[in-house]
Structure 1
């Protein structure tokens, strides 16, 4: 017995350290989804893992990181103590970190004003020469003014900012390697460009986008452009995005206050695959220019926010749809209910469009359905002109009660379909 026990002890002493023998890429995959504090704890598992935090490429200080650190506070003094303590923890991690940083994600809670702390500027300075993906989500009401160190991030490839102020230095000509930019509630205070390598640009509720004129030149490589609720935008900039494949514009007015010639506009998008527009866009068309001279054969997905009580919206919308012969996915969001005074004209137009055939359309989604006659005629038209339709998904408006829902369901069952395999999904 004693000999067997001794043998087991010797075996344990010479056992292979399986953690130490794991390949580096496997260790990165294990650590990537873990919070930073858990990675620090794991450094005691084996000798090879002692420096894992020092070289870990993903530094994520998100809401999961802050949750255990935030305690119930009873005074402003408690808040300041928490800010100091959390700032010290993040600063210490960055001070010992010596390797490249693939991802730096900083979430600033609404009730923890870290953006007022000078350490926040220090953190950006610390990572400026080695970070690739920077995500800064500032939740407090006060905007965070991005320090000038950000504009010297030569290795930066992805940038995501929320509730911040961008004030680039004079003669800033853009980033060298930046591929993706997402800005939400961001104020741009001076002329700037994100660089000619940029492929993805998303602007949501941003002000000062007039300063981005330097971005929209014929040298740009944008393939994805989303602009939502950003006030005025110079529509002439669309002439410079000939590589765009995904374009979505909503809540944006033409800063030049001019009508759009759709034939000229779509001639600039030879690669477009997905298009999303709203009523402002539909209303800004030159009279008589709603029908495209050439079909857009590359477009497969179309998202539109339309008002059924606006005849111009509906007419221009159908003119566009008829110009997309390879359309596969149609997504319609209704902004408001159709008024009874406009229904007659709308129904006449839909009868005029009854000869429309959408050979490739497979999926239709309509949101905000209230069960008006105009909506049912639209659904009837789509079901009649789509021989390959697989399903049409309808989502009722929150104002629809149980009685109206039953009436709509019965009427939907009576609508004939061009494709016997098509389904109507009523939610």
Structure 2
């Protein structure tokens, strides 16, 4: 028996190390399928696995990563100890990784303030030396995370995603050389900066200090996608230098202090393909003579999205129809209606405003209106008299229409819903293929 056991031990010792002789692509696939901290541990198996781990170019410290680490440390009484453990784990993973890090993603959980400056400094410094190209920092903690200055030395960076952070660029920072896409959510920009002339996509949402980005909008910028969503006051002069923009989203969170000339906006962005506006933005537009007379048009516009509209507000409905009329190739229209509220002066004033809208939509001046390329219309929100008249106009003026979709009309009264649906079916349609869908 003893000799048999010895033989078995000798046999095991002579066995070929199969796990270290796997094809490189298979090892890479195994590492990608493992949780990140387990993938890092594979580096201790052999030099082959250590080399394979070093070549893993994507490091994602996502929600699953933190959940699994936290679940193993449920017994920890103090949050400080847990934070120290998690920070040490992340730092250890970065230290054992010797190869390039092309993609780095960290999602800081709520209740775990991992954005302590010392830790964040080390992490960003480490990836800045490893040729990072795609960087995503999503901070779900309550307090904002200050991004270390090492970020601005990431010369090969192409994609940047930040949430709930503070950007404080160093003096004389001239921008990134290769950055093409930026998305910032709840980010504070503290001083003048630019993301570089190669930037193709800029997406700002609920950000503070966007006035510091003025130097981004120069004659040589390459922006094709620009989205500014509820970031305070917009500098209209920026759009004098955005001729390449194809997708534009402008959503205000308050009344604009300055009026934007729609003539200029149309002239300076001739390549617009998709446009997103909200009701407050429409109120800040001033249609010029060229737009009113349709001497200026948005010939390339295919998709129009309009949010938080009050179709019982005459100026808004006039601007909506103005935008549609100067877009001869428009194919898709999305309208999101705001909830109807009583006016400060009472129901009578609201009824008077709605009556003016109905009279306008039924006026002879709109009889010759045609939207020849419009194929799909989606309207979300409460449907009333003004909205029905608007739908009637679209149905009668769109010979190519395929779908008219009414989404979430919020009508609880079944009799009222039946009455409206019956009225919709009676509306004349320029397109025999048009279908009305109520969901």
What TM-score results when the alignment is normalised by the length of structure 1? 0.89
Structure 1 partner of 2:325: 322
Instruction: Report the Cα distance in structure 2 between the residues aligned to 1:271 and 1:154, rounded to whole angstroms.
Output: 30
The equivalent residue for 1:335 is 338
Equivalent residue in structure 1 for 2:418, among 406, 414, 425: 406
Gapped regions of structure 1 (runs ≥ 5):
1-8
2:328–2:371: 8 Å Cα contact kept in structure 1?
yes
Deviation readout 1:124-149 (Å, 9 max, x if unpaired): 11001311000000011111111111
1:424 aligns with 2:436: yes
Residue in structure 2 matched with residue 298 of structure 1 by the alignment: 300
Greater displacement, 28-37 / 156-165? 28-37
Report whether the alignment pairs 1:198 with 2:199. yes
Equivalent residue in structure 1 for 2:390, among 375, 378, 394: 378
Tell me how far 1:111 sits from its aligned partner.
1.0
Deviations 1:372-421 (CA, angstroms, capped at 9, x unpaired): 11111111111111111111111124464544433333332332322222
How much has 1:58 moved relative to structure 2?
0.6
Distance 1:148 1:377, change over 3 A: same
**1:99 corresponds to which residue?**
99
Aligned length: 413
> What runs of 5+ residues in structure 2 fail to find an aligned partner?
1-10, 342-349
- Tell me, yes or no, if structure 1 residue 362 matches structure 2 residue 363: no
Match of 1:258 in 2: 258
Report deviation, 1:272: 0.9
Give distance in 2, aligned partners of 1:30 and 1:203: 37
SS in 2 for 1:151: helix
The two structures, once aligned, show a CA RMSD in angstroms of 2.8
Go from structure 1 to structure 2 and tell me whether the alpha carbon gap of 1:57 and 1:281 turns closer, same or farther (over 3 Å shift). Answer: same
Tell me the equivalent position of 2:164.
163
Q: Does 1:172 align with 2:173?
A: yes
Name whichever structure is richer in helix by fraction. 2
| Stretch deviating more after TM superposition (284-293 or 56-65) | 284-293
Which of 358, 362, 365 in structure 2 is aligned with 1:351? 362
Q: 1:199 to 1:308 in 2, by over 3 A?
A: same
User: 1 CA distance for matches of 2:421 and 2:34?
Assistant: 47
Residue 78 of structure 1 is matched in structure 2 by 78
Distance 1:240 1:224 in 2: 13
Q: Is the 8 A contact 2:120 2:147 kept in 1?
A: no
- After TM superposition, the structure 1 stretch with the greater mean CA deviation from structure 2, 40-49 or 392-401, is 40-49
- Residue by residue over 1:56-84, the C-alpha shift from the partner in whole angstroms, topping out at 9 and shown as x without a partner, is 11100010111112249899952111111
For residues 194-234 of structure 1, give each alpha carbon's deviation from its aligned partner in whole angstroms, at most 9, with x where no partner exists.
Answer: 00000000110111111001101111100000001111111
Match of 1:233, SS state, is coil
CA distance 1:211–1:414, change in 2 (3 Å): same
1:54 is aligned to 54
Classify 1:189/1:380 alpha carbon distance in 2 versus 1 (closer, same or farther; 3 Å): same
> Counterpart of 1:168 in 2: which secondary structure?
coil
- State TM-score, norm by structure 2: 0.86
Contact residue 35 and residue 60 of structure 1 kept, 8 A: no
The change in CA–CA distance for 1:46 and 1:379 in structure 2 (over 3 A counts) is: farther
State whether residues 27 and 52 of structure 2, in contact with CA within 8 Å, keep that contact through their aligned partners in structure 1: no
Distance (whole Å) between structure 1 residues aligned to residue 33 and residue 402 of structure 2: 38
Counterpart secondary structure, 1:51: helix
- Contact 2:266-2:297 within 8 A present in 1 as well: no
Contact 1:39/1:52 (<8 A) preserved: no
Q: 1:151 to 1:50 in 2, by over 3 A?
A: closer
Alpha carbons of 1:400 and 1:199: their partners in 2 closer, same or farther (altered >3 Å)? Answer: farther
Find the aligned partners of 2:67 and 2:205 in 1 and give their Cα distance.
Answer: 27
- Matched with 1:280 is 280
Map of 1:308 onto structure 2: 311
Partner of 1:4: none
Distance across 2 between alignment mates of 1:127 and 1:35: 20
Structure 1 window deviating more from structure 2 (150-159 vs 337-346): it is 337-346
Instruction: For 1:263 and 1:100, locate their aligned partners in 2 and report how far apart those are by CA, in whole Å.
Output: 49
- The question of whether the paired residues in 1 share the 8 Å contact of 2:263 and 2:288 is answered with no
